[in-house]
Structure 1
Amino acid sequence: MSDPTSLPGEINAATRSLHTTLNRLITTRLPLALPPHTSDPSLYTTGLLHFAHIYLTFESLWNDLVSAPTSPPTSPLLSFLLVNPYDAPEMFSSPPSPQMVRFLRTLRPKGLTRSARLKADLEFLTGLHPTDLSVLLAQYPGDKVADYCQHIRRNVKVKPHVLVAYAWCFYMAVFSGGRYIRSELVKSGDEFWRTNTGPDTSTSTSSQLPLSESGLSFWSFLGPHDGEDIKADFKQRLLAAESFFTPDERIDVIEEAKSIFKFSAGLVQELDEKLATDLEKLNVPERVERPQPETARGEKGAHVRPTVVLSRKAVMWWRRPEVTGAAVALGCLAGVALLRMEF
């Protein structure tokens, strides 16, 4: 558990109610992206494509900030080519201070970033060549995705320290809630993840790799400790923010964390709108939590996963192909991981 007076502790406290709001949108979705409700990973892939823009945008901006001035942008399609300088002139303002650049350069341990793994998974799941995948990712799948990415670029340019909010929310989500998601995804079996995953996957090099390296590598970390060493290193490095950030910068980071949850909920809602769904009219009972033995607060294992009960009508509604689509998989990514953060 994080110290409630630390920056991570304050982020957790400030976003707790937003966790609950997002939870209402996604708790029914994770099981429905997997067998027996679907026979291949296309639903998961659709959601991953929709949500990949967020990781790729903030990580590419981060890399561009800490790179040498003469270095080319790490992801020009996402960082610059989609930006209209007349619509966002603030994005071409003065660079961050050398002190801020040094802090951001040393904050992320090796093995923490997810962009390369995201792209590898998408190449495997879609069967696209890396160049074709880059072209696909250069197009926003929805207005709210575009708004989210523009918000990230605008705020990072003016207040680069808000990248800490993205690091804490999204990386810690993969460490904590992501472990639960990964365990559920892996239960579907190797055959499921290699079904209809692209025209060339049967003969490609990636098809010969384990899912932890290609297909579901986003949720995995290199090394014998499955990322626990990386997590501990990241949290230790983040302690420097306690003395480095000014009070105003600290507030900026906390407020940005709130925006992360609001924008993520907006992505789920956008998908529902595009699919002509109406969650309010679903006959889905409120989640039911089975009684659990009391556990000391803060004790390892105290986090209890709720049991979700769905009516048969709701399950059949979700199984309609036009409904399950990206909404199911995006719920897994945007919501479950963030909501199951155990810091």
Structure 2
Amino acid sequence: MAKDSVPPISLPGEINIATRALHTELNRLITTRLPLGLPPFAADPTLYTTGLLHFAHIYLTFESLWADLLPATLPGPAASPPTSPLLSFLLVNPYSEPELFTSPPSPHIVAFLHTLRPKGLIRSGRLKRDLEFLTGLHPTDFEVLLAQYPGDKVAEFCTHIRRRVGNKPHVLVAYAWCYYMAVFSGGRYLRAELLKAGNAFWNTGTEDEVPKEDKETLRLEDKGLSFWSFPGQHDGLDIKEAFKARLEAAETLLTPDERVDIIEEAKTIFKLSASLVEELDQKLGTDLEKLKLFNAAQRHQVEKISDQSVTVTPNMAKTVGTWLHRPEVTGTVVALGCLACVALLRFGY
């Protein structure tokens, strides 16, 4: 049922206000760990790949559920096929979670979701391409890897997504806003920082799997780091504006209860994203006490460099200070979850 009037605060604005504290905490978790996954502290992209795989399951789950909702008979852009056959239900036991298969969505929500995402926005295909390159696995072995959860918290998050979307598919709007706008807001900056690691870093471990001619002709933006890139001449700016314009329809389309559902789901997204960072810490034994000492030393170095008016190089403490203060990155913490793997060094340097 359509709403009678547009509320004084936009839906994205309400989400941002409601999630501010959670946003800040997740930002702290990630920004303190980010530098450790790149040179000079990491010799290869193993940590990045580990974290990317953890968060990739979240994208693969909500995007495939979204695709499952969209019948090809609706007008408008054609529905994108799932990136893997029945991926949204690949790890689901229908006997233990029967409600996932019995909650038909309302037609007006399906119609809205059908047109919300512009072409080029979906990330699952790029995530799979990046991970296949970074892991160096044969396509068959890679599908086997994706057919299992890398951690209990990942499984819990994906189960939560399926249950929530199964009962209230309009909460997909929360995932769209949190995850897509995050990549838009700071993706270009993030990509630039990652690219500074160089081809040798990102090609480590793929010497036997990737043909020499591919290494010479493919850009990192098209293989290991394609998640952070968008098709077209505008590097995603046109896609971002189209997405925001289409999202405006939600202001008059959603009922008050549906609106509350979306805002509450956004809060949950931040909480569960933080739980993935914590699981990564536990999985690879991050020494949190040493992490505190490391970041304290980095902050001291930032202050010292600032006092001396010295230009900071990419491999110096600039990374921490910059990430903590850049406003465009403050809006990207959910997507930055894909870099949470940087927390996982065992501090053997």
TM-score range, shorter chain: 0.7 to 0.9
- The residue that corresponds to 1:19 in the other structure is 23
CA distance in structure 2 between the partners assigned to 1:123 and 1:101 by the alignment: 32
Cα deviation per residue 1:32-63 (whole Å; 9 max; x = unaligned)? Answer: 11111112212211111121100011000000
Among 38, 41, 49, which residue is 2:42 paired with? 38
User: What 5-or-longer segments of structure 2 have no aligned partner?
Assistant: 1-6, 74-78, 307-318, 324-334, 343-349
| Closer/same/farther in 2, CA of residues 207 and 120 from structure 1, 3 Å limit | farther
Is 1:106 the equivalent of 2:106?
no
The answer as to whether partners of 1:108 and 1:234 remain within 8 angstroms in 2 is yes
| Closer/same/farther in 2, CA of residues 50 and 201 from structure 1, 3 Å limit | same
- The residue that corresponds to 2:246 in the other structure is 237
Among 266, 286, 291, which residue is 1:257 paired with? 266
CA distance in structure 2 between the partners assigned to 1:106 and 1:93 by the alignment: 24
- The residue that corresponds to 2:60 in the other structure is 56
Q: CA deviation at 1:83?
A: 0.9
| Closer/same/farther in 2, CA of residues 332 and 92 from structure 1, 3 Å limit | closer
User: What 5-or-longer segments of structure 1 have no aligned partner?
Assistant: 293-304, 310-328, 337-343
CA distance in structure 1 between the partners assigned to 2:134 and 2:341 by the alignment: 21
Is 1:88 the equivalent of 2:97?
yes
Q: CA deviation at 1:78?
A: 3.0
The answer as to whether partners of 1:114 and 1:218 remain within 8 angstroms in 2 is yes
Q: CA deviation at 1:308?
A: 7.1
- The residue that corresponds to 1:313 in the other structure is none
Matched residue SS, 1:212: helix
| Closer/same/farther in 2, CA of residues 74 and 35 from structure 1, 3 Å limit | closer
Among 199, 208, 213, which residue is 2:208 paired with? 199
Cα deviation per residue 1:271-320 (whole Å; 9 max; x = unaligned)? Answer: 11223335257434396887x9xxxxxxxxxxxx86179xxxxxxxxxxx
Matched residue SS, 1:141: coil
Is 1:333 the equivalent of 2:339?
yes
CA distance in structure 2 between the partners assigned to 1:34 and 1:241 by the alignment: 40
Moved over 6 A (4+): none
CA distance in structure 1 between the partners assigned to 2:99 and 2:15 by the alignment: 26
CA distance in structure 1 between the partners assigned to 2:321 and 2:8 by the alignment: 28
The answer as to whether partners of 1:124 and 1:206 remain within 8 angstroms in 2 is no
Cα deviation per residue 1:130-186 (whole Å; 9 max; x = unaligned)? Answer: 332111011001100000000000000100000000000100111112222111101
- Judge which range, 41-50 or 157-166, deviates more: 41-50
Matched residue SS, 1:285: helix
CA distance in structure 1 between the partners assigned to 2:135 and 2:49 by the alignment: 7
CA distance in structure 2 between the partners assigned to 1:188 and 1:275 by the alignment: 22
Structure 1 counterpart of 2:24, one-letter code: T
- The residue that corresponds to 1:339 in the other structure is none
The answer as to whether partners of 2:126 and 2:227 remain within 8 angstroms in 1 is yes
Matches within 5 A, 1:130-279: 130-197=139-206, 199-203=208-212, 205=214, 208-279=217-288
- The residue that corresponds to 1:315 in the other structure is none
Matched residue SS, 1:96: coil
| Closer/same/farther in 2, CA of residues 198 and 154 from structure 1, 3 Å limit | farther
Q: CA deviation at 1:197?
A: 2.8
- TM-score, reference length from structure 2: 0.79
Is 1:285 the equivalent of 2:296?
yes
Matched residue SS, 1:162: helix
The answer as to whether partners of 2:49 and 2:341 remain within 8 angstroms in 1 is no
Structure with the higher fraction of residues in helix conformation: 2
Percent identity of paired positions between Structure 1 and Structure 2: 70
| Closer/same/farther in 2, CA of residues 266 and 68 from structure 1, 3 Å limit | same
- Judge which range, 90-99 or 226-235, deviates more: 90-99
The answer as to whether partners of 1:44 and 1:330 remain within 8 angstroms in 2 is no
Is 1:129 the equivalent of 2:138?
yes
Cα deviation per residue 1:81-136 (whole Å; 9 max; x = unaligned)? Answer: 31112321211113112221111010000000001111111111112233321110
Number of residue pairs the alignment of both structures matches: 303
Structure 1 counterpart of 2:267, one-letter code: K
Cα deviation per residue 1:182-204 (whole Å; 9 max; x = unaligned)? Answer: 11101111222112136311347
| Closer/same/farther in 2, CA of residues 335 and 230 from structure 1, 3 Å limit | farther
Structure 2 counterpart of 1:17, one-letter code: A
The answer as to whether partners of 1:50 and 1:330 remain within 8 angstroms in 2 is no
- The residue that corresponds to 2:76 in the other structure is none
CA distance in structure 2 between the partners assigned to 1:333 and 1:276 by the alignment: 17
Q: CA deviation at 1:207?
A: 6.4
| Closer/same/farther in 2, CA of residues 103 and 334 from structure 1, 3 Å limit | farther
Matched residue SS, 1:197: coil
CA distance in structure 2 between the partners assigned to 1:165 and 1:234 by the alignment: 13
CA distance in structure 1 between the partners assigned to 2:65 and 2:215 by the alignment: 28
| Closer/same/farther in 2, CA of residues 13 and 172 from structure 1, 3 Å limit | same
